[in-house]
Amino acid sequence: MIIDATRGKPNAMQVALANELINMPLTSYVTEGIDVRNYGVGDGLPAMKRIFAELLGVDAYEVIVGGNSSLNLMFDCFATFVLAEQWGSGAKFICPVPGYDRHFSISEYFGVEMINVAMTENGPDMDIVEKLAADPDVVGMWCVPVFSNPQGYVYSDETIARLAKMKTAHPHFKIFWDDAYTIHHFSGSRPTPLNILSECRKNGNESRPVMFASFSKISVAGAGVSCFAASGDSLATLRKRMNAQTIGHDKVNQQKHINFFKDVKGVEAHMQKHAAILRPKFEYAIAYMEKHLKDTGATFTRPQGGYFISVETLPGCAKRVCQICKENGVLITDAGATFPYGKDPADSNLRFAPTFLSIDELEKTLEVFCAAIKTASET
Amino acid sequence: MIIDATRGKPNAMQVALANELINMPLTSYVTEGIDVRNYGVGDGLPAMKRIFAELLGVDAYEVIVGGNSSLNLMFDCFATFVLAEQWGSGAKFICPVPGYDRHFSISEYFGVEMINVAMTENGPDMDIVEKLAADPDVVGMWCVPVFSNPQGYVYSDETIARLAKMKTAHPHFKIFWDDAYTIHHFSGSRPTPLNILSECRKNGNESRPVMFASFSKISVAGAGVSCFAASGDSLATLRKRMNAQTIGHDKVNQQKHINFFKDVKGVEAHMQKHAAILRPKFEYAIAYMEKHLKDTGATFTRPQGGYFISVETLPGCAKRVCQICKENGVLITDAGATFPYGKDPADSNLRFAPTFLSIDELEKTLEVFCAAIKTASET
């Protein structure tokens, strides 16, 4: 029996939390004058936009509601700027590392060169980011500001303020702000970082950020509702593409989300159910690592939200750990996956994904994983 | 009270036909080993692929299931080739006219020049198409083969055979085959034109067509399921983009479609309900036009399926007809909209869209529309 711990998927108990949403009949098909079954309303139902606007701290007119996948929106927004801003060959993108492999796949698909910047507990190393932004070929940057993938770090207010006000040599530098885990704390309270759009606007850079959010890890992983939010020229450019691209996304599913959650309070209450499932897994995993990685030279993060734990082995060990795990029936995220082009220069970072596993599987995975790190460190 | 007859939308009775689908609880969340609620299965549920494969006459492995909008898939496939085939400035696309405005908007968005080719009752004028395809800058072509928008024409077997075997100077010439109305006959039986992919394959051109289909006018206009089908290099190129673009589309909605329709027989039975609603509207509209356009010099099509009637006024009258209709409280599709760049060289084509209107509204619209044509023809 192979255990698959490669991806940050919610587990069966979590997706079942929204069975009622899936099975909820619509009692009315018309809302605010809109038949949710018919064509139209390209940017989403007003009530859905209001929920996203409150979640992201933006105005509803700045929100465009998408389909089930915020990754799809990120890809499409990236594609928009590739065309509109001519991010052709020579363009470069700042990638805080370790980071999210699917972000890197998007940049790679479009041939935009990726530049690694180290993450700290407060976000990317801003001294380096500011230096890179002084290069006119550097057109933008990926960010996961809250419970970063894979560390679970939260950007500090200083980091966000510096991102908002930094001088960029490229006049239309874009920050892709993937707020995937904005209310996904399972311990403590919801982080309240500075709002990137407000901060950028204060500094005359309102077109700099494009923010993304998704219900995939709130309602149904494969059938949620996503959005992006932007302002100024960015919003105009993205709207233009959207108007050519679609007559509108699934409003029936939007209406079911509106009926099920009602408002942001409803979303927050629902997230406590996820937290109750995830907290014990993270606590168990962290306690196990505390005990069993002690003498291996490996370090790991202790996130209070998100979907991952980031583990740093001694240099040169990560690939070997993956291999040993595989030989023992446990698949973990490939070593290197958290870096652009799949290349971890130190071969030391591993993304540990506890969420999808049952407690039994988690125990087995940790046992194999920590033993593998021990073996790899000693040889 | 303004009547809006601008778009080919299903009416309230039609969208209500799928209320049961919207409100259907899922009795099982796992199908063929896949939890439809979780991430993954980028190309769609196997049973959904089988239904589309049978509808389009292709193999299931050639089908990629999308979200609620086939237009979105067309845009994305077009974008893929813009990048992969460098359809940059200088590239040209063949556009049978009159045609579908949203196709033209996609080409225009990407800066691909559009070339008009006249439609006949058997499809585009193939003598002209073959001549144009001998130009290496001509990279592809839009087609609505069954119940063309706006005429309701069905491509003849000869047209399809010639499209499949014609020599193209561009080695990767693409046919965007929008099979939007493949089972949308409301009179007579389902048209059975030659299969474009099989024909192309016979001639060694299996990468030439990309076929599109959608449930938008079968189940729920804003919340259906779409797909594209392709083969050879085209499928590989499109899959590569899809793998970077999304983790997969909404499988919950796919499963509801599978449960509701069961198979293609179920889809066909459901389409008879649409036909029963649409047939009287088209019959009424055609009979009214027969009587009231007799002495105006205007001609019109008599479709047996699809969503539109194409009306040809005397040259130079179409814009004036729109204007008169508007002054009398009836909005029809803008004159020019059925041509690339919104420019009808003869100013004579009008797209009449009877589907969305109630019978009362249809009567009023026809009265105003035919009177406007009469006035415009006489002045």
pLDDT of residue B67: 97
pLDDT of residue B89: 80
Contact A208, A200 (CB under 8 A): yes
Would an 8 Å CB–CB cutoff place B71 in contact with chain A? yes
A51-62 pLDDT, tens digit per residue, is: 999 999 999 999
Would an 8 Å CB–CB cutoff place A72 in contact with chain B? yes
Q: Which positions in chain A touch B225 (Cβ < 8 Å)? A: none
Contact A249, A66 (CB under 8 A): yes
Q: Determine whether the interchain pair B222/A36 forms a contact, defined as Cβ–Cβ distance below 8 Å.
A: yes
pLDDT of residue B375: 97
Q: What letter would DSSP give residue A305? A: B
Q: Determine whether the interchain pair B72/A38 forms a contact, defined as Cβ–Cβ distance below 8 Å.
A: no
In angstroms, the separation between the Cα of residue B224 and the nearest Cα of chain A is 8
Query: Six-digit token pair at B145?
Result: 């083969």
pLDDT for A88 beyond 90: no
Q: How many Å apart are CA A371 and CA A177, to the nearest integer?
A: 36
Count of A-B CB contacts under 8 Å: 154
Would an 8 Å CB–CB cutoff place A68 in contact with chain B? yes
**pLDDT tier at A89, thresholds 50, 70, 90:** confident
Residues paired with residue A255 on neighbouring β-strands, in sequence order: none
pLDDT of residue A150: 98
A211-244 pLDDT, tens digit per residue, is: 999 999 999 999 999 999 999 999 999 999 999 9
Residues paired with residue B30 on neighbouring β-strands, in sequence order: B35
- CA A309 vs CA A9, A377, B317: distances in Å: 14, 19, 69
Q: How many Å apart are CA B111 and CA B90, to the nearest integer?
A: 9
pLDDT of residue A133: 98
Q: Determine whether the interchain pair B37/A15 forms a contact, defined as Cβ–Cβ distance below 8 Å.
A: yes
| Residue from A37, A71, A104, A239 whose CB has the most chain B CBs within 10 Å, to mutate | A37
- CA A183 vs CA A54, A62, A193, B139, B347: distances in Å: 12, 20, 12, 47, 56
Q: Determine whether the interchain pair A216/B39 forms a contact, defined as Cβ–Cβ distance below 8 Å.
A: yes
A22-50 pLDDT, tens digit per residue, is: 999 999 999 999 999 999 999 999 999 99
Residue of A nearest to B223 (CA): A250
Give DSSP secondary structure letters for B354-367.
-TTS-HHHHHHHHH
A314-343 pLDDT, tens digit per residue, is: 999 999 999 999 999 999 999 999 999 999
Would an 8 Å CB–CB cutoff place A178 in contact with chain B? no
Query: Six-digit token pair at B308?
Result: 């539109």
Q: How many Å apart are CA A86 and CA A79, to the nearest integer?
A: 10
Chain A neighbours among B 286-305 (CB < 8 Å)? none
pLDDT of residue A379: 78
State the residue for tokens 């993270």. A282
Q: A178-200: b or e for each residue (b if 16 or more CB lie within 10 Å)? A: bbbbbbbbbeeeebebbbbbebb
Q: Determine whether the interchain pair A38/B222 forms a contact, defined as Cβ–Cβ distance below 8 Å.
A: yes
Q: Which positions in chain B touch A75 (Cβ < 8 Å)? A: 244-246
Q: Which amino acid is at A371?
A: A
Q: Determine whether the interchain pair A250/B246 forms a contact, defined as Cβ–Cβ distance below 8 Å.
A: no
* Best CA proximity match to A21, nearest among A226, A274, A256, A214: A256
pLDDT of residue B379: 78
pLDDT for A272 beyond 90: yes
Q: Determine whether the interchain pair A26/B22 forms a contact, defined as Cβ–Cβ distance below 8 Å.
A: yes
pTM for this predicted structure = 0.97
Q: Which amino acid is at B257?
A: H
Contact A177, A210 (CB under 8 A): yes
In order along chain B (379 residues), what is the average pLDDT of each group of 10 residues? 92 96 95 95 97 98 98 98 90 98 97 98 98 98 98 98 98 97 96 98 98 98 97 98 96 98 98 98 98 96 98 98 98 97 98 95 97 94
Q: Which amino acid is at A347?
A: D
Q: How many angstroms from the chain centroid is the CA of residue A339?
A: 15
Q: Determine whether the interchain pair A68/B72 forms a contact, defined as Cβ–Cβ distance below 8 Å.
A: no
Q: Which positions in chain B touch A253 (Cβ < 8 Å)? A: 223, 250, 253
Q: Determine whether the interchain pair B109/A241 forms a contact, defined as Cβ–Cβ distance below 8 Å.
A: yes
Query: Six-digit token pair at A372?
Result: 């593998």
Chain-wide mean pLDDT for chain A? 97
Q: Could you report how far apart the first and last alpha carbons of chain B are, in Å? A: 27
Query: Residue A359 burial (CB < 10 Å; 0-12/13-18/19+)?
Result: exposed
Contact B65, B204 (CB under 8 A): no
Which uninterrupted H or E stretch holds A65? strand A63-65
Question: B191 preceded by cis ω (within 30°)?
Answer: no
pLDDT of residue B283: 97
3-state SS class at B374: helix
Contact B217, B180 (CB under 8 A): yes
